[in-house]
């Protein structure tokens, strides 16, 4: 059926859930999904061909871009490891990691360079943090006008309980020398072609040492799947996933600003409100992408959901504050003229998804259009208008769903 | 009576094969598959401390993607572009103009060091700009 691979139990459940979500789309096959990308292409295969992964939306095989089918986000605020999205820049990804020989270097502007095994890492004080990992370009496929790049719908994100060590404790083992300005992280993956820029990212030294940035070796109670960065990855709570380097094997403390490609030339956003510019606009300042912004989603209804006339409609979803917690989630059924507060679920931490629920009433006929808006604890709310920038980054417009009365 | 004996035998067999220590007695048809959690080529080394155990892993990643549609320029595009990424990257793009495709190909060559002969770029851009975007 799916590439001749046996469907594990979770793959079957994922496949069945995906089937339920797309049965309404006329002519859809059971192993494909239709994304709502104006201008297309909208069809994607659902694949179970990737190790340790259940049914995933296939954006690209190599290097892998795997999107989480959106119904997974209705199953709970934590994204199961085998449905967690996958995004790699370069195709030379180790298929085998041997803990007997794996070492992570800590070098550069330090007193004692280190070569740490995972046993060394496990011996450091253990910390836990729930945090959303979201691709900088999540939702890029929804931008209008469209932008080249990974054509994600909204599923290039996931929430996990990360267990590991503070980056600060790892840095302290090497002893950061005064004059350090940044810390740069490199993983085991490599470009196919010599001379192409190896993927590495850096954080300012104070950020790196803030006690929240961590190196995680477990997500949701298990070691990291290979494709999510085994044996350990960087966790930068509240910041976009580009910084969450996978398979971290090299930590370099810098005493001059990082001018490597992936910091200086890539992942730049307009330094404007909402990182918003007009298509074709030039001459605006840019800065490296950084903090996330609030978002909220409907997870129990889609445009295919039918509601009964004049009936109560239970709505449910997830919200995130971005770089801080969720203060409120509000729902509107009159196009944003008035809003009512949703009930928030358990607080799993400032950087975690938060569930929200709300009941609204369907009209007697026509369409029920619902909007959901998150306001975070810094009083920043999602905008009613979508932003635009040439990278397709940082989308966080208020989401809406049109439900047909039938 | 005969069917009762069959049921009893089946129950006994299931009991024997399910209970822990007895599992060693079962025939190979019921032996556990290769440990799916760490993969078929996983090295043996593991590390453990304070209740957390990490195990080496070894898997195989899929490498084959979709086929590029046939047509003029398909061969030179495949020859130059698929070494670094499978065709899905190309085929999932929205309708890009010739200028936009030129920008993308130029970025592949200048920034990502794709070893493309400059003479081949026009044919590649023409092919990409001519691709029909699926609905």
Average pLDDT of chain B, as a whole number: 83
Q: Quick one: which H or E segment has residue A373? A: strand A367-376
Q: Does B33 reach chain A within 8 Å, measured CB to CB? A: no
Interstrand relation of A399-405 and A306-307 (parallel, antiparallel or unpaired): parallel
Closest-approach residue (CA) in chain A for B93: A148
CB proximity list for A4: less than 8 A, separation 6 or greater: none
Whether the predicted pLDDT of A198 surpasses 50: yes
Interface of A with B in 75-94 (CB under 8 A): 90-91, 93
Q: pLDDT by residue (tens digit) across A203-218?
A: 999 999 999 999 999 9
pLDDT bin (cut points 50, 70, 90) of residue B29 is very low
| Rg of chain B, C-alpha, whole Å | 28
- Which residues of chain B make contact with A163, given a CB cutoff of 8 A? 52
Q: pLDDT by residue (tens digit) across A81-108?
A: 999 999 999 999 999 999 999 999 999 9
Q: What is the mean pLDDT of residues A165-183?
A: 98
State residue B36's pLDDT score: 75
State residue B35's pLDDT score: 73
Between residues A387 and A18, the one the model is more confident about? A387
Average pLDDT of chain A, as a whole number: 93
- Which residues of chain B make contact with A146, given a CB cutoff of 8 A? 94-95
Interface of A with B in 95-134 (CB under 8 A): 95-101, 117-119, 122-123, 126
Residues A188, A191, A193, A197, CA torsion sign: negative
A-B C-beta contacts closer than 8 Å: 148
Between residues A316 and B27, the one the model is more confident about? A316
Q: What is the mean pLDDT of residues A272-282?
A: 97
Domain ranges of chain A: 9-87, 104-288, 295-405
pLDDT bin (cut points 50, 70, 90) of residue A4 is very low
State residue A129's pLDDT score: 98
pLDDT bin (cut points 50, 70, 90) of residue B3 is low
pTM score: 0.89
Q: pLDDT by residue (tens digit) across A305-324?
A: 999 999 999 999 999 999 99
Angle between helices B98-110 and B121-130 (to 10 degrees): 130
A117 min Cα distance to partner chain B (Å): 9
Between residues B81 and B6, the one the model is more confident about? B81
Least confident span in A8-22, A90-104, A230-244: A8-22
Q: What is the mean pLDDT of residues A154-167?
A: 98
State residue B20's pLDDT score: 40
Closest partner residue to B49 (CB to CB) among A60, A96, A122 is: A122
Closest to A349 (Cα-Cα) out of A126, A82, A127, A166: A127
Interchain proximity B61–A93, CB inside 8 Å? yes
Max distance between CA atoms of chain A, in angstroms, equals 72
Q: Does B65 reach chain A within 8 Å, measured CB to CB? A: yes
Q: What is the mean pLDDT of residues A223-237?
A: 98
B88 min Cα distance to partner chain A (Å): 5
State residue A62's pLDDT score: 97
Q: Does A161 reach chain B within 8 Å, measured CB to CB? A: no
Whether the predicted pLDDT of A13 surpasses 50: no
Q: Does A337 reach chain B within 8 Å, measured CB to CB? A: no
Q: What is the mean pLDDT of residues A160-166?
A: 98
Interchain proximity B59–A96, CB inside 8 Å? yes
- As assigned by CATH, the class of the B74-130 domain is mainly alpha
Interface of A with B in 229-258 (CB under 8 A): 230-231
Of all residues in chain A, the percent with pLDDT exceeding 90 is 92
Whether the predicted pLDDT of A24 surpasses 60: no
Interface of B with A in 96-135 (CB under 8 A): 96, 100, 103-104, 111-115, 133-135
A200 min Cα distance to partner chain B (Å): 14
CATH number attached to the domain at A295-405: 2.60.40.650
Whether the predicted pLDDT of B21 surpasses 60: no
Q: What is the mean pLDDT of residues A209-233?
A: 98
Angle between helices B74-81 and B121-130 (to 10 degrees): 110
Q: Does A265 reach chain B within 8 Å, measured CB to CB? A: yes
Whether the predicted pLDDT of A11 surpasses 70: no
Between residues A379 and A406, the one the model is more confident about? A379
Interchain proximity A8–B36, CB inside 8 Å? yes
Interchain proximity B54–A223, CB inside 8 Å? yes
B119 min Cα distance to partner chain A (Å): 20
State residue B30's pLDDT score: 37
Closest-approach residue (CA) in chain A for B46: A99
| Best residue of A51, A67, A227, A268 to probe chain B, by most B CBs closer than 10 Å | A51
| Best residue of A62, A86, A151 to probe chain B, by most B CBs closer than 10 Å | A62
State residue B7's pLDDT score: 53
Closest partner residue to A40 (CB to CB) among B60, B112, B135 is: B135
Closest partner residue to B50 (CB to CB) among A91, A98, A126 is: A126
Interchain proximity A60–B84, CB inside 8 Å? no
State residue A140's pLDDT score: 98
Q: Domain A104-288 belongs to what architecture?
A: Alpha-Beta Complex (3.90)
Whether the predicted pLDDT of A234 surpasses 60: yes
State residue A10's pLDDT score: 38
* φ, ψ for residue A64, nearest 5 deg: -65, 135
* Beta strand ranges found along A220-350 (DSSP E): 222-223, 233-235, 248-254, 268-270, 286-288, 295-298, 306-307, 312-320, 326-332, 340-341, 343-344
Whether the predicted pLDDT of A192 surpasses 80: yes
Of all residues in chain A, the percent with pLDDT exceeding 70 is 93
Whether the predicted pLDDT of A174 surpasses 70: yes
* φ, ψ for residue B127, nearest 5 deg: -60, -50
Closest-approach residue (CA) in chain B for A88: B85
Same fold across A104-288 and A295-405: no
State residue B108's pLDDT score: 96
Domain ranges of chain B: 1-30, 32-61, 74-130
Closest to A230 (Cα-Cα) out of A121, A95, A92: A95
Q: What is the mean pLDDT of residues A39-47?
A: 96
State the alpha helices, DSSP H only, in A105-155.
118-122
B14 min Cα distance to partner chain A (Å): 21
State residue A23's pLDDT score: 36
Interchain proximity A96–B86, CB inside 8 Å? no
Interchain proximity A96–B42, CB inside 8 Å? yes
CA distance A86 to A84: 7
- Which residues of chain A make contact with B89, given a CB cutoff of 8 A? 60, 65
Strands ordered across the beta sheet of A86-87: A32-34, A43-47, A56-60, A65-67, A86-87
CB proximity list for A313: less than 8 A, separation 6 or greater: A301, A307, A359, A360, A361, A362, A368, A370, A403
Q: pLDDT by residue (tens digit) across A348-371?
A: 999 999 999 999 999 999 999 999
């Amino acid at each position: 059926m799916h590439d001749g691979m046996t469907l594990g139990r979770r793959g079957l459940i994922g496949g069945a859930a995906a089937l339920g979500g797309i049965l309404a789309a006329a002519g859809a096959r059971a192993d494909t999904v239709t994304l709502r990308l104006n201008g297309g292409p909208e069809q994607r295969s659902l694949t179970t061909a990737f190790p340790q992964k259940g049914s995933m939306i296939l954006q690209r095989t190599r290097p892998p871009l795997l999107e989480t089918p959106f119904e997974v986000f209705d199953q709970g605020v934590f994204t199961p490891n085998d449905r967690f999205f996958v995004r790699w820049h370069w195709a030379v990804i180790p298929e085998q990691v041997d803990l007997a020989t794996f070492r992570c270097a800590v070098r550069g502007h330090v007193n004692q360079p280190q070569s740490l095994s995972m046993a060394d890492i496990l011996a450091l004080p253990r910390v836990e943090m729930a945090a959303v990992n979201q691709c900088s370009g999540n939702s890029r496929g929804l931008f209008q006008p469209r932008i080249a790049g990974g054509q994600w719908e909204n599923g290039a994100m996931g929430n996990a309980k990360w267990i590991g060590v503070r980056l600060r404790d790892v840095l302290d083992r090497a002893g950061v020398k005064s004059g350090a300005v940044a810390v740069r992280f490199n993983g085991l993956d490599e470009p196919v072609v010599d001379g192409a820029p190896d993927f590495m990212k850096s954080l300012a030294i104070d950020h790196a040492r803030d006690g929240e940035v961590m190196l995680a070796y477990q997500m949701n109670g298990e070691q990291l799947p290979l494709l999510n960065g085994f044996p350990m990855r960087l966790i930068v709570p509240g910041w976009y996933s580009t910084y969450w380097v996978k398979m971290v094997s090299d930590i370099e403390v810098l005493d001059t600003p990082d001018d490597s490609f992936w910091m200086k030339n890539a992942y730049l956003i307009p330094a404007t409100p909402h990182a918003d510019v007009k298509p074709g606009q030039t001459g605006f300042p840019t800065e490296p992408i950084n903090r996330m912004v609030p978002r909220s989603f409907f997870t129990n209804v889609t445009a295919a959901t039918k509601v009964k006339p004049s009936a109560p409609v239970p709505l449910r979803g997830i919200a995130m504050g971005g770089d801080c917690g969720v203060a409120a989630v509000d729902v509107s059924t009159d196009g944003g003229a008035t809003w009512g507060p949703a009930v928030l679920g358990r607080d799993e931490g400032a950087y975690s998804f938060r569930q929200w629920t709300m009941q609204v009433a369907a009209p007697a006929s026509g369409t029920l259009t619902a909007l959901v808006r998150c306001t975070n604890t810094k009083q920043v709310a999602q905008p009613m208008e979508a932003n635009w920038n040439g990278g397709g980054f940082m989308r966080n417009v208020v989401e809406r769903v049109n439900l047909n009365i039938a | 009576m005969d069917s009762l004996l069959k049921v009893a035998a089946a129950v006994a067999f299931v009991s024997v094969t399910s209970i822990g220590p007895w599992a060693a007695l079962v025939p190979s048809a019921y032996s556990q598959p290769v440990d799916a959690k760490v993969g078929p080529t996983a090295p043996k080394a593991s590390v453990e401390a304070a209740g957390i155990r990490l195990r080496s892993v070894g898997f195989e990643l899929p490498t084959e993607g979709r086929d590029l549609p046939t047509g003029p320029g398909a061969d030179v595009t495949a020859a130059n572009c698929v070494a670094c990424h499978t065709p899905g990257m190309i085929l999932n793009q929205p309708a890009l103009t010739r200028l936009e495709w030129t920008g993308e190909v130029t970025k592949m060559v200048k920034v990502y060091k794709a070893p493309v002969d400059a003479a081949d770029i026009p044919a590649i851009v023409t092919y990409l700009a001519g691709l029909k975007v699926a609905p």
